[in-house]
Structure 1
Amino acid sequence: MPVLGLQLMMLKDRINEKGMFEVLRQVHDLDITAVEVSQVTMTDELIDDLVRGKEELGVETAAMSASIAPGGNGFALETEFDRAVDACRRTGSRYLRIGMMPFSAMVSKEACEAWAAEVEPYAARLAEQGVTLCYHNHHVDLIRFDGERIFDIVRRVAPSLLFEVDLHWVQRGGMAPLDMLKAYTGACKLIHVKDFRIAPLPAEVYAKFEAKELEGKDFYDVFLSLAQFAEVGQGNMNWPELLPAAEAAGAEYFLIEQDDTYGRDPIDCIRESREYLRSIGY
């Protein structure tokens, strides 16, 4: 069974305030045994805390973030390749992940191919070091150029680059997650377990609509925003079918994630997600 973990993007503010080790202690108390590191600066101190978290708490590092060029919070492989590999060895992480391709790579088939071709040598070099580089999708990765999805272009041009599948974004992109997992079996190593709900239309918004105080595009923008990220088990995703399918597709980690908690304490949301996953056998 894949290891259950947490995408630490949800707790990035606490990491910046209290340090990584104290956050790992909270993660451990939630009965979560792995973390993925994202949207925090990969200082030497933070890496030391990840090592300590594994040794003292048993919380392993499932993956850390990377990019090709400098400018993000993760390891920039152009300039920090050796440091990234060393951090993987020290923490025991077997995965690095790219959170998104540059927006400039999404505008055409040729741009996407050029980006994937740039990534492939780094993914191949990392594989030689025992580290797998994965690409994290969003809904835009379902864009088709000449009938070929961005997913397909990436697999064709960068075969050494595997996938971190965000099932929420697959759903939002209009592809059935079960179909996606089947189509890319063998490439799906990390899975973001993120639910998808449609919130009720606020009564006050409808009242303004009825009173003609909110109409046209302004009302429609509110209508579209009813699609929300949700605690696992509180939305419409079919997790009892999806998680076994993800395991069959080759997943090694299931990572709880919720991009927006809409004012709720992230710890409460994580606890709720964890309790649901326990209730269905994880």
Structure 2
Amino acid sequence: MKIAVQLYTLRRELEKDFYSVIKQVAELGYEGVEFAGFYNINANDMHDVLTNLNLKVAGSHTSLELLEKNIDEVIEYNQIIGNKDIVIPWAKVDNIDDVKHLINRIKPIIGKLKNVNMNLHYHNHNHELVPYQEGYLLDYLFNELPELSAEIDTHWVTRANVEPISYLKKYQKRTKLVHLKDLVIIDGKPNYAPLGEGIMDLVGIIDQAQENGCEWLVVENDEPRQGGIRDIQISINYLKKILSR
């Protein structure tokens, strides 16, 4: 498995100086990046930056609305930078009617991406893990769309009081990308933490991701309290130690 960082973690730093920050990502030992926007950099320039730093693309978070309105432009940009994995980062999923509506929106996108040898993934939060029938709303989505890959965010699965290792196991063969961030309790509430500084069974999660055939472990922290660079440094140091066992 390779290690990438979801660049949303570094959004504040990247907005100030994209090139300097992306260079630091490579210097820390990350093999890839997962995008959440492109900071007004054209595709050819982005390709050159990544090539010069020997960074691969481990997916791109792309809103459902953008995919519906401008899928041809999305495809073109991502083909230029060498990315085959498009990820829907969030969708309104509060009940089964929302899920059925989402399925109808996603179906044509899967087809268009498949035609150009690209994959569509769905990244969960905790709101999709509402019990429904024998599982959860998220399961209904994946069951109805067998060609939709699952980018399981193990932190958000845990926040939904679902055991993340068994949930990962449920989607073997469909989890090319797995999101990792640790969880801590602050003032009685769940919060984000760098890997190894919280309460999650990350070793078990990583072992299951390996068993699943995961290609990319994607480090993320929505709100890094120690600053983005310091946060991702702690996380990659932890991951390297675990993966070297």
Q: TM-score normalised to the size of structure 2?
A: 0.93
CA distance in 2: counterparts of 1:101 and 1:245, whole angstroms: 26
2:30 to 29, 32, 45: 32
Which stretches of structure 1, 4 residues or more, deviate above 4 A after TM superposition? none
Q: Cα distance, 1:134 vs. partner?
A: 0.5
Query: Are 2:195 and 1:249 equivalent residues in the alignment?
Result: no
User: Of residues 79, 82, 87 in structure 2, which corresponds to 1:89?
Assistant: 79
Tell whether the 8 Å contact from 2:151 to 2:177 is kept in structure 1 after alignment.
yes
Distance 1:42 1:68, change over 3 A: farther
Aligned-partner Cα distance in 1 for 2:109–2:168: 25
Corresponding position: 1:134 with 2:96: no
Partners of 1:237 and 1:175 in 2: CA distance:
12
Q: Give the alignment of 1:95-114 within 5 angstroms.
A: 95-102=85-92, 106-114=93-101
Equivalences for 1:132-171 in 2 at 5 Å? 132-171=119-158
Partner secondary structure for residue 156 of structure 1 = helix
Q: For residues 22-68 of structure 1, what are the alpha-carbon distances to aligned partners after superposition, in whole Å with 9 as ceiling and x for unaligned?
A: 32211011111100111x3563x253343012221101111112223
Match of 1:5 in 2: 4
Partner amino acid, structure 1, of 2:28: L
CA contact (8 A) 2:94 2:128 kept: no
Distance (whole Å) between structure 2 residues aligned to residue 25 and residue 46 of structure 1: 18
| Residues 66-96 of structure 1: per-residue CA shift (max 9 Å, x gap) | 2232xxxxxx122221111112211111101
SS at 2:107's partner residue? helix
Q: Is structure 2 residue 173 aligned with structure 1 residue 191?
A: no
CA distance in 1, matches of 2:143, 2:100: 9
Unaligned runs of 5+ in 1: 70-75, 200-221
Distance (whole Å) between structure 2 residues aligned to residue 230 and residue 62 of structure 1: 22
Q: Which has the larger radius of gyration?
A: 1
2:233 to 253, 264, 271: 271
Alignment partner of 1:63 is 2:59 = yes
Mapped partners of 2:112, 2:201: distance in 1: 37
Deviates more, 1:149-158 or 1:90-99: 149-158
Considering Cα pairs closer than 8 Å and 6+ residues apart, tell me whether 1 or 2 has the greater RCO: 2
Q: How many residues align?
A: 244
For the Cα contact (< 8 Å) 2:94–2:127, is it kept in 1?
A: no
Shift of 1:187: 1.4
User: How far apart in 2 are the matches of 1:149 and 1:46?
Assistant: 40
Looking at structure 2, the residues matched to 129 and 238 of structure 1 have their Cα atoms a distance apart, in angstroms, of 38
Matched to 2:21, the amino acid is V
Structure 1 Cα separation of the partners of residues 152 and 230 of structure 2:
24
1:206-255 C-alpha deviation (Å, 9 max, x unpaired): xxxxxxxxxxxxxxxx53x2x22111011112222211211222311111
Separation (CA, whole Å) in 2 of partners of 1:34 and 1:18: 19
Per-residue deviation, 1:270: 0.9
1:145-187 Cα distance to aligned partner (Å, 9 max, x none) = 3444122111122222111111011111111111101111111
